[in-house]
Amino acid sequence: MITGEFNQARSLIVKTSSMGDVIHAMPALSDLLVHRPDLAVDWAVEESFADLVRLHPGVTNVLPVAVRRWRQQVWSKDTHQDVRRVKQLLSSRTYQKIVDCQGLLKSAWVTRQARGVRYGYNWSSARESLASLAYDHRFPVSRELHAIERCRRLFAQVFEYIYPAYQLPRFGLKAPETSDIAEHLPTEGSYAVLLTNASRETKRWPDESWQQVARFLEMQGLSTVYIAGTAVERERTTTMMRSTPGGVLLPSSGLADLAYVLANAHVVIGLDTGLTHLAAALGRPVIGIFCDYDPNLVGLCGDGECRSLGSVRGGPNVNEVLHVLSEWLK
């Protein structure tokens, strides 16, 4: 159900996935609401990331879509019914501006289902050039910029305000103040979160390096907390933890609970994954380990200490990580 007054100025953001990409769009929303505090903003996002978008108090309505699931069940009757329902939801009101800040064919499709004037990247700026054909107005934004800056510059052009380049990105996320998952966290002292799992093998860092980091943290008096989603991830993490038996593997949890865990961590060390970017967005000190992607394009950014180590050619040496931790934990 869509809430809010129909006569209120309202726009729609389309940024469906992945988790890190959704997080990278949030500073643009924070910029926008500074310049247009009267604006109501809805957000179309993959169903699995709906709770993430709800962490931003500036979002009025979250419109979940399920493009990932639909692709896996193209001929299913349930899929067809679900697509019709989402189309009706997206077209249930007219938006003054619909902004696709993802620039992919899948996000362009979502954008076309909504009623209103559509805005996005131009042919040379969109991640998939054909997506630009779905928009009524198209804008140039360099693809060499960090993902956060791309979104901020696009919004400034769409909503006609001066891009606040002198201001650091403000994510504006509010983690829950309480959570049932707290009963699984260490009961004494501070803890560090180690995000050792990733969506693809090329992002992974050697288990031996993680084990060295865990032992170092425990020597500093910090308990170690691990997060794993799938059965494969849980088995792999459990095996890795055997050399550091003081660690805690949390039960599978939703994004709101995980935001609580990250927001209360003393420090977070993680691979180039959505949860690592979420920890940075929540203002925690975070070390990001990049093994197959350029951190200049998607490096960590947040209100706390952030360090992005590694490169497209491989991850950092474990001593680089321990050196940063030594500086932070003095």
Say which CATH architecture domain 180-328 belongs to.
3-Layer(aba) Sandwich (3.40)
d(CA 168, CA 15): 21
d(CA 272, CA 74): 30
Instruction: Check: CB of residue 274 under 8 Å from CB of residue 23.
Output: yes
d(CA 236, CA 254): 20
pLDDT in tens, 216-235: 999 999 999 999 999 999 99
Write the secondary structure of 99-157 as one string of H (helix), E (strand) and C (coil).
EECCCCHHHHHHHHHCEEEEEEECCCCCCCHHHHHHCCEEECCCCCCCHHHHHHHHHHH
Confidence at 4, pLDDT banded by 50, 70, 90? low
The residue-averaged pLDDT of 4-13 equals: 78
Backbone angles phi, psi at 166, to 5 degrees: -75, -15
Q: 283-289: which pairs have CB atoms within 8 A and are 24 or more residues apart?
A: 285/328, 287/321, 287/324, 287/325, 289/205, 289/315, 289/316, 289/321
Instruction: Check: CB of residue 322 under 8 Å from CB of residue 213.
Output: yes
Question: According to the model, what pLDDT value does residue 163 have?
Answer: 87
| Helices 274-281 + 255-263 axis angle, to 10 | 50
Say which CATH architecture domain 10-159 belongs to.
3-Layer(aba) Sandwich (3.40)
Cα Rg of the chain (Å, integer): 20
Do the first three CATH levels of 10-159 and 180-328 match, i.e. the same topology?
yes
The yes-or-no verdict on residue 172 having pLDDT over 60 is: yes
Instruction: Provide the sign of the torsion angle of the four alpha carbons 252, 255, 259, 260, taken in this order.
Output: negative
Domain ranges for the chain, please list them: 10-159, 180-328
Beta-carbon count within 10 A of 100 CB: 29
pLDDT in tens, 187-220: 888 999 999 999 899 999 999 999 999 999 999 9
pLDDT in tens, 243-287: 888 899 999 999 999 999 999 999 999 999 999 999 999 999 999
Strand 191-195: give its sheet, edge to edge.
Answer: 248-249, 223-226, 191-195, 267-271, 286-290, 306-310
Instruction: Check: CB of residue 139 under 8 Å from CB of residue 161.
Output: no
Average pLDDT, the chain: 95
Question: According to the model, what pLDDT value does residue 106 have?
Answer: 97
pLDDT in tens, 63-78: 999 999 999 998 999 9
Confidence at 6, pLDDT banded by 50, 70, 90? low
Helix, strand, coil in percent for the chain, rounding step 5: 40, 20, 40
Question: According to the model, what pLDDT value does residue 7 have?
Answer: 55
Instruction: Check: CB of residue 97 under 8 Å from CB of residue 70.
Output: no
Helix (H/G/I), strand (E/B), else coil: 242? helix
Question: According to the model, what pLDDT value does residue 81 have?
Answer: 95
pTM listed for this prediction: 0.95
The yes-or-no verdict on residue 324 having pLDDT over 90 is: yes
d(CA 117, CA 95): 7
The yes-or-no verdict on residue 171 having pLDDT over 80 is: yes
The yes-or-no verdict on residue 31 having pLDDT over 90 is: yes
Question: According to the model, what pLDDT value does residue 188 have?
Answer: 86
pLDDT in tens, 95-130: 999 999 999 999 999 999 999 999 999 999 999 999
Nearest residue to 193 (alpha-carbon basis) of 181, 203, 177, 180: 181
Question: According to the model, what pLDDT value does residue 93 have?
Answer: 94
Question: According to the model, what pLDDT value does residue 328 have?
Answer: 97
The residue-averaged pLDDT of 139-150 equals: 97
Of 2-6, 26-30, 175-179, where does mean pLDDT reach its minimum? Answer: 2-6
Structure tokens at 66: 């399920």
Confidence at 1, pLDDT banded by 50, 70, 90? low
DSSP annotation of 314 reads: B
Confidence at 44, pLDDT banded by 50, 70, 90? very high
Question: According to the model, what pLDDT value does residue 232 have?
Answer: 95
d(CA 314, CA 317): 9
